[in-house]
């Protein structure tokens, strides 16, 4: 019994000890849970850093927006005086309205300005390329180094935009000239390339800016020789140095126009020089005098008789041609001669038609009261024909052509602006030989021209020949002498006034 009691006491003590230890075990287990207080501190630091970064980004965005606004403001001012505002705007839009020229390595504003100063060698006013503004802007930027960033940025933008505008003008001037020729002369019909924005804008993405600027310099022999004459201050026999310099500058602008022949062989007529040249591989193989259209007069202030500037292709000749007399000549001249002399028409081999039918007795018509527009006039082939023995035909909207003439004494005159617009040639047979070459066809032409009883006949060229009717008043001849011709149509004056009014020509 005593042993049993002791056993029970031991068992009870054991159970009690187990009951007391369980809470300690639970507490111990809880003591091993990780302390996450460090995580909260790190998160706070990270959040604070993010806030700081956000503030920084917002400030940067604000500044960028402010800089873009500043840039756009000054760009707008520059665009208002640009000839091609859309080109400049597109350029800077592609650069997010930020300066990019002045940030290029090795590209200093002073070096660009010095290069642009060479425009004087092209007869152009440096101020047209903003040299009078660029210099002060460069100095202003240098003087603003200690100023706040916002002020320095504005000065940088102003200089950047001036540089870009100047380079744009220069790229166009060298590649295409500055004046559109057909805007000056209603009789200008030479195929001329208009400024191509992609070629002009290459100035802004060229790997080497100065190398690109060198590459677009006009390089023809005619241009370079005028450039040298301008630099040397060369005068001419019939002009003083000042007038010679002006003529040189005007013709350098003409030579910058993209309208020059690219054929190996072509015919060139220089209107104010009264000459025709057959050019082959850059050399004149045949030259002759010509008579061209009469210039403006008090009775013809519009210059209706001026020979137009044009290019075309001679495709045919008419041997012993029939002259279909233009309505204006019939109205203003032929009918008046016939009114004064009833037999003028028959004595000059001129037939009169009405409604397509030939009138047998035109001397009976009272030309003082007749409606001349109801009649057409044709001059038969022969010695009296105003077109001579041959005319050279090419397409054009001015109804002009080259032709022979029975009035040979005209070629002895120094001033030969005497025709109604067509070009009379001094050596028609030699010209036909240059077009057709020796052989059967040319022999037929020569024989037909010499025939006593001529008949009109068309003969097509085996190969069409390019022809250019041009207007050049200054050039250097083969001996290096400066040649200057009179401005018979006043086109030099028109060009000068246009260049002067836009402050383009150097004075």
Q: In what order do the strands lie in the sheet with 375-379?
A: 323-324, 375-379, 350-354, 357-358
Cα separation, 367 vs 352, in Å, equals 12
Only one residue has tokens 């210039």, namely 295
- Cβ contacts of residue 125 below 8 Å, gap of 6+? 119, 503, 504, 505, 506, 507
For the chain, the 3-state helix, strand and coil shares in percent, each to the nearest 5, are 50, 15, 35
Cα separation, 266 vs 279, in Å, equals 5
* Catalytic residue of the set 122, 291, 420, 422: 422
Burial classification of residue 121, based on how many CB atoms lie within 10 Å of its CB (0-12 exposed, 13-18 middle, 19 or more buried): middle
Q: Report the sign of the C-alpha dihedral through residues 119, 124, 130, 132, in that order.
A: positive
DSSP class per residue in 397-437? TT---EE--S-GGGGG-S--EEESSSEEES-HHHHHHHHH-
Per the CB < 8 A criterion, the answer to whether 465 and 313 are in contact is: yes
Cα separation, 77 vs 165, in Å, equals 12
Which residue from 349, 334, 426 is spatially nearest to 385, judged by alpha carbons? 349
- 98: number of CA atoms within 13 Å, CB side? 9
Only one residue has tokens 């015919």, namely 267
Cα separation, 344 vs 362, in Å, equals 10
Cα separation, 410 vs 174, in Å, equals 41
Per the CB < 8 A criterion, the answer to whether 297 and 497 are in contact is: no
For residue 420, indicate whether it is catalytic.
no
For residue 422, indicate whether it is catalytic.
yes
Question: In angstroms, what CA-CA distances link 81 with 88, 131, 161, 172?
Answer: 11, 15, 12, 16
DSSP code of 124?
B
Per the CB < 8 A criterion, the answer to whether 275 and 290 are in contact is: yes
DSSP code of 337?
H
Cα separation, 360 vs 166, in Å, equals 71
Cβ atoms < 10 Å from Cβ of 29: 9
Q: How many residues does the chain have?
A: 507
* Catalytic residue of the set 84, 122, 403, 420: 403
Known catalytic residues are 403, 422
């Amino acid at each position: 019994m005593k042993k049993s009691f002791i056993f029970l006491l031991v068992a009870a003590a054991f159970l009690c000890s187990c009951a007391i230890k369980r809470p300690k075990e639970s507490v111990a287990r809880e003591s091993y849970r990780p302390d996450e207080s460090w995580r909260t501190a790190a998160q706070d630091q990270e959040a604070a850093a993010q806030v700081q970064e956000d503030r920084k980004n917002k400030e940067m965005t604000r500044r960028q927006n402010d800089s873009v606004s500043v840039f756009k403001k000054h760009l707008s001012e520059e665009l208002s005086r640009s000839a091609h505002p859309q080109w400049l705007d597109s350029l800077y839009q592609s650069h997010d309205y930020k300066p990019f020229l002045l940030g290029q390595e090795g590209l200093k504003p002073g070096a660009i300005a010095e290069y642009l100063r060479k425009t004087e060698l092209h007869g152009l006013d440096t101020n047209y390329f903003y040299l009078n503004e660029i210099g002060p802007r460069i100095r202003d930027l240098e003087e603003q180094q200690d100023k706040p960033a916002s002020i320095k940025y504005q000065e940088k933008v102003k200089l950047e935009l001036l540089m870009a505008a100047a380079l744009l003008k220069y790229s166009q001037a060298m590649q295409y000239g500055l004046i559109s020729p057909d805007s000056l002369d209603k009789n200008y019909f030479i195929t001329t390339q208009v400024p191509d924005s992609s070629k002009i804008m290459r100035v802004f993405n060229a790997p080497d800016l100065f190398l690109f600027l060198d590459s677009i310099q006009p390089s023809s022999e005619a241009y370079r020789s005028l450039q040298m004459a301008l630099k040397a201050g060369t005068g001419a026999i019939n002009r003083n140095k000042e007038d010679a310099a002006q003529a040189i500058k005007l013709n350098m602008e003409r030579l910058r126009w993209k309208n020059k022949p690219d054929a190996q062989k072509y015919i060139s007529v220089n209107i104010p020089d009264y000459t025709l040249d057959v050019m082959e591989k850059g050399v004149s193989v045949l030259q002759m005098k010509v008579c061209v259209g009469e210039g403006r007069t008090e009775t013809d202030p519009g210059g209706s008789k001026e020979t137009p500037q044009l290019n075309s292709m001679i495709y045919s000749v008419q041997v012993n041609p029939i002259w279909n007399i233009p309505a204006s000549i019939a109205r203003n001249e032929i009918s008046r001669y016939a009114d004064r002399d009833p037999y003028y028409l028959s004595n000059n081999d001129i037939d009169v038609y009405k409604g397509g039918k030939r009138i047998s007795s035109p001397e009976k018509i009272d030309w003082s009261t007749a409606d001349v527009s109801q009649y057409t006039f044709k001059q038969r082939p022969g010695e009296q024909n105003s077109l001579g023995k041959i005319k050279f035909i090419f397409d054009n909207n001015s109804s002009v052509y080259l032709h022979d003439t029975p009035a040979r004494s005209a070629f002895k005159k120094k001033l030969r602006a005497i025709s109604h617009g067509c070009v009379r040639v001094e050596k028609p047979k030699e010209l036909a030989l240059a077009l057709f070459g020796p052989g059967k066809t040319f022999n037929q032409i020569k024989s037909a021209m010499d025939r006593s009883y001529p008949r009109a006949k068309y003969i097509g060229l085996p190969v069409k020949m390019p022809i250019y009717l041009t207007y050049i008043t200054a050039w250097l001849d083969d001996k290096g002498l400066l040649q200057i011709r009179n401005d018979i149509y006043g086109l030099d004056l028109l060009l000068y006034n246009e260049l002067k009014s836009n402050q383009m020509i150097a004075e």
